[in-house]
Homo-oligomer: A and B are copies of this chain.
Amino acid sequence: MSKKGCCNSVGECFFDYYTSKILVIRSRKVGTLNRFTQALVIAYVVGYVCVLKKGYQDTDTVLSSVTTKVKGIALTNTTELGERIWDVADYIIPPQVVRRFDEEEVQARRFKCPLTSLVPPPSWVMKMIWLHLHAHTLYCVNSLLFTQGLSVQTGRCVNYNDTVKTCEVLSWCPLEKIVEPPNPPLLADAENFTVLIKNNIRYPKFNFNKRNILPNINSSYLTQCVFSRKTDPDCPIFRLKDIVEEAEEDFQTMAVHGGVMGVQIRWDCDLDMPQSWCVPRYTFRRLDNKDPENNVAPGYNFRFAKYYKDSDGTETRTLIKGYGIRFDVLVFGQAGKFNIIPTLLNIGAGLALLGLVNVICDWIVLTIMTRKHHYKEQKYTYVDDFGLVSI
């Protein structure tokens, strides 16, 4: 061993430059194959990962706040209610647009009354119960009914009419009538109601805020525009009918039993581009299950009550069962911005794959090609614990 041969001191070796010895094979076949596969890998990394999938970007998901404002008024004229006006304060129960009402007559609390009907009411839990009831008409099992949202039974049986006996129940009286929702719906005009959706989003990671009312929109336009995919894609005011139709539903049909519509606002933003390119995209789809096969309480309805106190102090209420179309505003999206880490992650992975190319080519050269032995000799030097292995 000469002094020069190895390192006498670390310092001496530290600045040595180690590079692997290379065998250059002058063969078009291999060469072409090699360049070709390399080209593929590079094309993939540059073209697909970087350009198409924006692999050089760090991403963040959207943070959103929504306010809505409904406009519209409807006139109804029914035998029970007579001519009647519905304005926002009447039909908006946040967060849904109630679309028709079956208004019961005023009820008084704490009266005792006979069950008014023996036909099974429509709602989902009752079905079972009532059938059961038939089997036990005379016992009027308490425990069962108690938990099932119908009414509390006193356990006594009273005359419903001259022929039928029924259970006495403790409830708001008279009992809610079991009626199919009328068709056409009461507030059929609601299809022309408009809703203004104000949406403010934020990408916390990039400290980026934006509104769905774009800067290039002025008030005078907003006062009269209505969203339309073709003509007014940026207008944040939607006609209910349009929303439902875009989801390929029929408004009047849907109105009968109600339903839930999803207003999806997608914010996909490339923050390396001008901010003005980052605009919301609106899509609509129906969220509830309309086919009654595997469904309970189809459509969307709910009960609420207005309470009054009579002059004699008796508390009464007006029970309202509203069949509504609820509009859920779902905001989602992803923003991307250049970031060094994902970039180098992808480049690194690309380089590693380039290494793989060599492995493949080596394998071909040394196993497939006719002159493989010839190449092996040059590429490999064999050594074992006892010295050089003669070739």
Q: A5-B389, A26-B385, A193-B147 are in contact. Are A353 and B361 (CB under 8 A)?
A: no
A118 at the interface (CB under 8 A from B): no
**Segment at the interface with B among A158-166, A244-252, A325-333:** A325-333
C-alpha gap A332/B53 in the complex (Å): 26
Q: Are A17 and B21 in contact (CB under 8 A)?
A: no
Instruction: Kindly provide the distance from the CB of A255 to the nearest chain B CB, expressed in whole angstroms.
Output: 16
A194 at the interface (CB under 8 A from B): yes
Mark A352-391 against chain B: 1 for CB-CB distance below 8 A, else 0.
1101101001100100000101111011111111011111
**Segment at the interface with B among A85-93, A179-187, A272-280:** A85-93
Residues of B within 8 A of A125 (CB): 71, 194, 223
Residues of B within 8 A of A198 (CB): 288-289
Q: Are B28 and A15 in contact (CB under 8 A)?
A: yes
Q: A292-B219, A349-B349 are in contact. Are A89 and B317 (CB under 8 A)?
A: yes
Q: Are A305 and B219 in contact (CB under 8 A)?
A: no
The residues in A between 256 and 299 inclusive whose CB is less than 8 angstroms from any CB of B are 260, 262, 264, 266, 285, 287-289, 292-297
Instruction: Kindly provide the distance from the CB of A203 to the nearest chain B CB, expressed in whole angstroms.
Output: 10
Instruction: Kindly provide the distance from the CB of A81 to the nearest chain B CB, expressed in whole angstroms.
Output: 9
The residues in A between 60 and 100 inclusive whose CB is less than 8 angstroms from any CB of B are 61, 63, 65, 67, 69, 71-75, 82-85, 87-90, 92, 94
Residues of B within 8 A of A47 (CB): none
Q: Which residue of B lies closest to A95 (CB)?
A: B94
Copies in the complex: 3
Secondary structure call for the A interface: mixed
A214 at the interface (CB under 8 A from B): yes
Q: A88-B149, A305-B90 are in contact. Are A378 and B388 (CB under 8 A)?
A: yes
Q: Residue among A16, A18, A341, A378 with the most chain B CB within 10 A?
A: A16
A300's partner among B15, B49, B67, B196 (CB-CB below 8 A) is B67
Q: Are A124 and B350 in contact (CB under 8 A)?
A: no
The residues in A between 191 and 239 inclusive whose CB is less than 8 angstroms from any CB of B are 192-194, 196, 198, 200, 202, 204, 209, 211, 213-219, 222-224, 237
> Could you list some 8 contacts between A and B, CB below 8 A?
A16-B25, A16-B26, A18-B23, A18-B24, A19-B379, A85-B172, A89-B317, A237-B296
The 10 closest A-B pairs by CB, nearest first: A348-B349, A15-B31, A26-B384, A348-B352, A71-B149, A147-B192, A89-B305, A351-B352, A17-B30, A20-B20
